[in-house]
Amino acid sequence: MKIASWNVNGIRALVKKGELDRFLTVVDPDILLMQETKARADQLSFELTSHAEYHQFYHAAQKAGYAGTSIWAKKVINPEVTFSVGMDGFDDSEGRVVTLRCHGLTILGVYFPNGGKSSLAWQGKLEFYEIFHRHVKALRDAGEKVIFAGDVNCCHQEIDIARPKENDGKIGFHPDERSRVSAWVADGWVDVWRRLNPDLADVYSWWSFRARARERNIGWRIDYFFVDEVLLPRVRTLVYMTQQMGSDHCPVVMEID
């Protein structure tokens, strides 16, 4: 099974650029998780709601043009596909969590808050990390085999950011949020890329639109795949598709048995 995750920074713009079709042609994912779709159902074109090959499920934010997540799943996966949204203990009015269950796996696509708008937003981000941790732990404790992926909006370690010293303590590389990710890892949730590539630097998933950051590879690795430790032996590969254009993020693609 090939699972892809991509913060598309506006799905309608991605389609207009032709980059979504290009990605689907090259990668042909069985499951595609998207974050920051920024669209309600009534704003989506026919190809985004009635694709010949994919079931298409959206969880939109109440605020127009903001946040939102989506999962596409190949129709050949039938009849075992179910979708759900949100998580216990959290009012998901911003469309941040969407879940797919198929073939014994529970797969969550997540758009974590940025937290940079205000002190209240910052505290909300930290709380989201903790609520989400409790949520996936409850799923695991209930016997579900859990994978979660998406835009975590945090570089976990210095190796995950091009300029760690300059950004130390800033939102996205703040010790309080990094400690939340460390708590996941300590609890048996594996950052697949870093486990497979413990010393590989200069691989990022987000670049600012400013100062030719992507061209110069001045980036941040803030998009991840996490799996429960018991699932790690089933992972074949994980790739950051840094050459795929269309968003300020690149897609991440994992193959798993």
Q: Which residues carry out catalysis?
A: 151
Contact 20, 41 (CB under 8 A): no
Q: Which two tokens stand for residue 226?
A: 């996490």
Q: Which two tokens stand for residue 206?
A: 């987000």
How many whole angstroms separate alpha carbon 67 and alpha carbon 56? 17
Q: Taking each helix axis as running N to C, give the angle between helix 175-186 and helix 119-141, from 0 to 180 degrees, rounded to the nearest 10.
A: 0
Omega into 79 within 30° of 0, i.e. cis?
yes
Alpha helices in the chain (DSSP H): 11-17, 19-27, 119-141, 164-167, 175-186, 192-196, 213-216
The strand ranges marked E within the chain are 2-7, 31-35, 54-59, 69-74, 82-85, 97-102, 105-111, 145-151, 189-191, 206-207, 219-220, 223-228, 235-240, 252-256
Q: Which two tokens stand for residue 169?
A: 């303590």
